[in-house]
Structure 1
Amino acid sequence: MNYAGKGASAAETELDRAGLLALSALALLIGGLAGIVGAAYRAALASADRFRGVVIGWAQGEGLLGFVAVVAICAAAAFIAAWMVRRLSPHASGSGIPHVEAVLHGLVPPASFILLPVKFIGGVLAIGSGLALGREGPSVQIGAVIGHLVGVGSGRNWSDCRALLAAGAGAGLATAFNAPMAGAVFVLEELVQKFEHRTALAALAASSTAMATVHFILGDSPELKVPPIDYPEPAIGPLFFILGAALGFLGIFYNWLLFRTLALYDSFARTPVELRAAATGALVGVLAWFAPALVGGGENITQAALMGSQDIFILPFVLMLRFGLGSASYAAGTPGGLFAPMLTLGALAGLFFGVVCGLLLPGLEIQPQAFAVVGMTALFTSAVRAPLTGMVLVTEMTGSAVLLLPMLAACFTAMLAPTVLRCAPIYESLRERLLRR
């Protein structure tokens, strides 16, 4: 009997157990740090939105001078955000999720500390100026930087640093949307795209302490409020399959439009990126002057859609406007994500579908708000190809689980269309674009 072998095995098991406990402790620390930074980022964005509203309210009483002031402020904020990215941290451009994925796949080196302040300040300037960008992209990349720095600083090997980086990214998503489970699922389904026990443990730990920290600082409530929604009757069930298929094709169009817009901006390569961002900011400033509720990340529009307060005759125009505004904002090269604007589009499209179905099928008790909630999940699934993340994210954001089965049906058909047509998921395409640059 090989007692030496047994002893070595036991020692290795004990060492692995100690390493797992150390990894878990570090993940808890990373979650707390990501929660503090994430809460500060959300508070800064809320202040920036309020400031924009105050400025626009003042400017609309000042005539032409006020109009010029709004356009100039929005252009200047976008200019500074793009300048910070170009001069200090090019990887801070856009969502940041493609870069995090590239790091986790070993294709590019991790970002340095400088990305954190660039992403934070640049994101506040860009989103605060009214660009249609989401706060989750910066939060994810900031969390990833925190995770990597803590891993390196504690002397962990690359395998553990990779797990901590992914956990920090998940914690960032959790803080952005008050969705801790979605943060953990996002790590496994989208970032690493496989189930790894150590990564899963680290992601759960980081997301839990991140949300505990955010709740302590900002309070505990769902991200979105929805009216009471009844469980849909069986006769309505097929409509969710149809909604998913429709949004499957809409997601294909969303990805196509985004990359066409990126190519268009790239065609002006001789023009400094700061000027391109300023031009986009100026256009957003013009829109903000006439329709201030239609600019920014879109959380207010999503909330209005979930309450069913959008006019059916206005909905298609708002939807088209936000499609174009979101693509142009992302192509500007400033920090900002895609999740929040995408969820806004899904809510608007779902609400429109539900209202039309209610008019065409008056015999059914249709709640358009239910289709708005499911639409958020379906469009996300079509574009990102991460149905579990989408379902968990929207369920946590709305605080309602009654629509899980309709979500499942819609996600099935929403994922079927782009998969059959071989349209690549948006973050995979963005990652490939990043590696070509």
Structure 2
Amino acid sequence: MAGLATPASVGLIPVKFIGGLLAIGGGLALGREGPSVQMGATAANTIGRLLRLGPADCRSLLAAGAGAGLATAFNAPGAGAIFVLEELVGKFEARTACSALGASVSAILVARALLGGDPDFVVADSPMVISVSTQVLFLLTGLAVGLLSVVYNRTVLATLRLAERMNASVEIRAAAIGAIGGLIVWLTPRLAGGGDWITQSAINGTLIWTALPGLYALRLVFGSISYAAATPGGLFAPMLALGALAGLGCGDLAHVLAPTLAGRTTPFVVVGMAAMFAGAVRAPLTGIILVTEMTNTPSLLLPLLSGSFAAMFVADGMGEAPIYEALRTRAASEKR
């Protein structure tokens, strides 16, 4: 999309499909949205080339296909369309917006016909009434998660640099990381993979607060080294799991400091997910809509806005580049 590379050929699709299936199915802490986005973008761009469309139309189709891949991965059509405009294009373009909406809607219709339309995470049906006075707690949660998002970005980039400096081939490096993943799967299978079980447990409030720091550290390191293995996989799902853990920790702390205001911990978990996304990716609208669709919690819109704003405030104030911008800059420097 930035013009720094030629769009991949259709041969990328089976590589990402099989590679992602093996890597994610094998237990590495990677998100399914990574291969889905890349397969969707490649398929859409290939269709544009087969129809002999112009460069502008192919570019719009490539972005729309990427959004459809994200929408399908998380059953979130709104987030798929907004992701295209906010993250990939960076501005509103009528042609791209129309393509993104059409691709996301059609992709979701097919996916729901095959898999059903239930949201990824189950949140209790009891109404969550958030008073104005509790917004300060969500602002504080956003500030804390924003700091953790900076730590997350720097850990991912530092792990990639460390992997490059190792005097070993990519195959040996991947095998070593796979062995670590296999050990985690063997000892604690629920802590491996993209992190859906962790996120759902945080939403349910079934994780013991004393275990949260250890779980967070394990997932942070395991997610970073999984990404350094250079196998197909994304960052979104592991990032949301970290945000859920951070949000649960903030909710538990809020109960200690302000028990009359805190209420349930579930809203803090949901806000933590969106705040982590906003701070790390710097795409707050995508994060808010994505988390809302994944948890079916439209009543938490104001807390999500507060937490995302605070997280972005911290990340921008610390001068931290968005993770995908940093990865793109790193890839460009490697080519030079």
- For 1:352 and 1:215, the matched residues in 2 are separated by 34
Give me the whole-angstrom Cα distance separating, in 2, the residues matched to 1:159 and 1:117.
Answer: 26
Residue 256 of structure 1: which of 145, 154, 171 is its match? 154
Give yes or no for contact 1:223–1:398 (8 Å, CA) kept in 2.
Answer: yes
Which consecutive unaligned segments of at least 5 residues does structure 1 have?
1-103
Please report the TM-score for the alignment, with normalisation by the length of structure 1.
0.75
Q: Which has the larger radius of gyration?
A: 1
From 143, 165, 183, give the equivalent of 2:62: 165
1:34 aligns with none
Instruction: Report % sequence identity.
Output: 53
CA distance in 2, matches of 1:386, 1:229: 28
Q: Where does residue 275 of structure 2 map in the other structure?
A: 378
The separation in 2 between residues aligned to 1:310 and 1:302, in whole angstroms, is 10
| Aligned positions of 1:14-25 closer than 5 A | none
User: Pairwise mapping of residues 160-309 of structure 1 onto structure 2 (< 5 A)?
Assistant: 160-227=57-124, 228-268=126-166, 270-309=167-206
Tell me how far apart the structure 2 counterparts of residues 310 and 319 of structure 1 sit (CA, whole Å): 12
When structure 1 is superposed on structure 2, of 176-185 and 216-225 the one drifting more is 216-225
Match 1:336 to one of 229, 233, 240:
233
Superposition deviation, residue 364 in structure 1:
2.7
- What SS does structure 1 have at the residue aligned with 2:250? helix
One of 301, 316, 321 as aligned partner of 2:218: 321
Check conservation: 1:229, 1:367, Cα contact below 8 A.
Answer: no
CA contact (8 A) 2:251 2:262 kept: no
Instruction: Tell me, yes or no, if structure 1 residue 148 matches structure 2 residue 45.
Output: yes
Spell out, residue by residue over 1:136-163, the C-alpha distance to the aligned partner (whole angstroms, 9 max, x if none): 0110000000110000001100000000
Task: Read off the aligned partner of 1:364 and give its amino acid letter.
Answer: L
**1:134 match: secondary structure:** coil
- Deviation of 1:242 after TM superposition, in Å, equals 0.5
Could you tell me which amino acid in structure 1 is paired with residue 210 of structure 2? F
Q: Which residues in structure 2 correspond to 1:30-69 (within 5 Å)?
A: none
Is contact 1:171-1:206 (8 Å) kept? yes
Structure 2: distance between partners of 1:365 and 1:148: 48
Q: Which amino acid aligns with 2:54?
A: N
* CA distance in 1 between partners of 2:82 and 2:304 (Å): 16
Q: Map Cα deviations across residues 209-256 of structure 1 (whole Å, 9 max, x no partner).
A: 000000001111111111134121222110011011111111110001
Q: Distance in 1 between matches of 2:229 and 2:213?
A: 25
**2:22 counterpart of 1:125:** yes
How many residues are matched?
333
List per-residue Cα deviations over 1:365-418 (Å, max 9, x = no partner). 521111000100001000000000000000011111010000101111100111
Instruction: Give the residue type in structure 1 aligned to 2:282.
Output: R
Closer, same or farther: CA 252–223 of 1 in aligned 2, 3 Å: same
Question: 1:359, CA displacement in angstroms?
Answer: 2.2
Distance change in 2, residues 1:229/1:379 (3 Å): farther
Secondary structure of residue in 2 paired with 1:127: helix
Contact 2:254 2:262 in 1 (8 A): no
Give the distance between the partners of 1:231 and 1:405, measured in 2 at CA.
11
Distance in structure 1 (CA, Å) of the matches to 2:299 and 2:260: 22
Tell me the SS of whatever aligns to 1:220: coil
Does the Cα contact within 8 Å between 2:137 and 2:262 map onto a contact in 1?
no
User: Which amino acid in 2 is paired with 1:177?
Assistant: F
The DSSP-based 3-state class of the residue aligned with 2:3 is coil
Output the CA distance in 1 between the equivalents of 2:317 and 2:162.
28
Q: If the length of structure 2 is used for normalisation, what is the TM-score?
A: 0.97
Q: CA deviation at 1:356?
A: 1.5
Residue 347 (structure 1) shift = 0.5
Give how far 1:316 is off. 1.3
Question: Does 2:243 match 1:353?
Answer: no
1:287 Cα offset (Å): 1.6
Structure 2: any 5+ residue segments left out of the alignment? Answer: none
In 2, Cα distance between equivalents of 1:239 and 1:169: 35
- Output the amino acid matched with 2:16: K
CA displacement at 1:360 relative to structure 2: 2.4
Moved more, 216-225 or 163-172: 216-225
CA distance in 2: counterparts of 1:288 and 1:209, whole angstroms: 36
Give, in whole Å, the separation in 1 of the partners of 2:281 and 2:262.
Answer: 31
What does residue 416 of structure 1 align with? 313
Which contiguous aligned blocks of 4+ residues in structure 1 show a shift greater than 3 angstroms?
none
CA RMSD of aligned residues (A): 0.9
User: What residue identity is the alignment partner of 1:111?
Assistant: A
What displacement does 1:305 show?
0.8
